[in-house]
Amino acid sequence: MQYDVAIIGGSYAGLSAGLQLARARQSVLVLDTGARRNRFAQHSHGFLTQDGADPAAIAATARAQLRAYGTVSWLDARAERASVVEGGFLLSAQQVPAILARKLILATGVIDQLPEVPGLAERWGRSVFHCPYCHGYELQQKPLGVLASSPLSLHHALMLPDWGPTTLFLNGAFTPDDAQLQQLQQRGVAIEDGLIREISGERAVMVMQDGRSIALEGLFTLTRTRVASDIAAQLGCEFEAGPTGDFIKTDATRETSVPGVFACGDAARAAGSLALAVGDGVMAGTAAHRALIFGQA
């Protein structure tokens, strides 16, 4: 199997990159394992014309539109290995030992590592979130919480009062200094410094170790993130340190430090969204096309 471009990851970023290439009549293979980062949420917000839509439906429509192009092939399979060979890249995937592509686009997204608090994982994407721009408005200015996972949670707690009265649950993750306490006070943030036993209830009832319960409409927490595939590392791509985890380093055209390898979406930025993934995908797709013609993006 030989293609102009192989795209690893067929969600928002990969689909957007593929669309540009398909419209330039390039042969494209998309490999995808179907584990979008937002698969836990029933509604997606903040993406023009799709505000409040089902994120699975957005991806399904984009996939159907891309697959309608005659030069696009699709494999529901995990890309496992990649190496640089003469003229491009050699990939292997589940049950497909050898795929040759002249250019490669990495759009694998990231995996969220959630704080280990009983009851949190079951509520992820329903009443526990990381991004207030995505899910804050719908909480109707009712009581909100921030579960601290690192000192960065201070930033989260200082932002959140614009979406509702906020309590910061320190849970042993960090201790704010005097200046930080003053900032929290100025923003009207309440502080709970006890440990959390579990999260229960329909939305998010914070059950403290001392037996008290604090009912919230929504809880926000910062996850640790890691790029969902090690293919960038196998190829020797450089990474950058982000606030929640490392991501693939790219230039303005979304080319990585390995020539001919492009990266887009959450895998290649410090913090992402559908709109940013789609924009990155346009850049990566058009840059990969230019690289096929001119040798560089």
Residues that bind ligand FAD (CB under 6 A): 8-14, 31-38, 40-41, 44-47, 78-79, 107-109, 112, 124-125, 129, 134, 228-229, 265-267, 272-275, 277
Residue 160: CB minimum distance to ligand FAD, A: 16
Residue 32: CB minimum distance to ligand FAD, A: 5
Task: Give the per-residue SS3 of the chain.
Answer: CEEEEEEECCCHHHHHHHHHHHHCCCCEEEECCCCCCCCCCCCCCCCCCCCCCCHHHHHHHHHHHHHCCCCEEEECCCEEEEEEECCEEEEEECCEEEEEEEEEEECCCEEEECCCCCCCHHHECCCEECCHHHHCHHHCCCCEEEECCCCCHHHHHHHHHHCCCEEEECCCCCCCCHHHHHHHHHCCCEEECCCEEEEECCCEEEEECCCCEEEECEEEECCEEEECCCHHHHHCCCEEECCCCEEECECCCCEECCCCEEECHHHHCCCCCHHHHHHHHHHHHHHHHHHHHHCCC
Cβ proximity to ligand FAD, 158 vs 228, nearer residue: 228
Residue 112: CB minimum distance to ligand FAD, A: 6
Q: Are 109 and 37 in contact (CB under 8 A)?
A: yes
Cβ proximity to ligand FAD, 24 vs 107, nearer residue: 107
Residue 41: CB minimum distance to ligand FAD, A: 4
Residue 2: CB minimum distance to ligand FAD, A: 19
Q: Comparing C-alpha atoms, which of 115, 209, 197 is closest to residue 153?
A: 115
Per-residue CA distances from 107 to 54, 78, 96 (Å): 21, 12, 19
Cβ proximity to ligand FAD, 85 vs 275, nearer residue: 275
Cβ proximity to ligand FAD, 176 vs 218, nearer residue: 218
Residue 109: CB minimum distance to ligand FAD, A: 2
Cβ proximity to ligand FAD, 20 vs 108, nearer residue: 108
C-alpha span between 18 and 26 (Å, rounded): 9
Cβ proximity to ligand FAD, 172 vs 242, nearer residue: 242
Cβ proximity to ligand FAD, 59 vs 170, nearer residue: 59
The residue nearest ligand FAD at its CB is 265
Tell me the residue length of the chain: 297
Cβ proximity to ligand FAD, 79 vs 170, nearer residue: 79
Residue 219: CB minimum distance to ligand FAD, A: 12
Residue 273: CB minimum distance to ligand FAD, A: 3
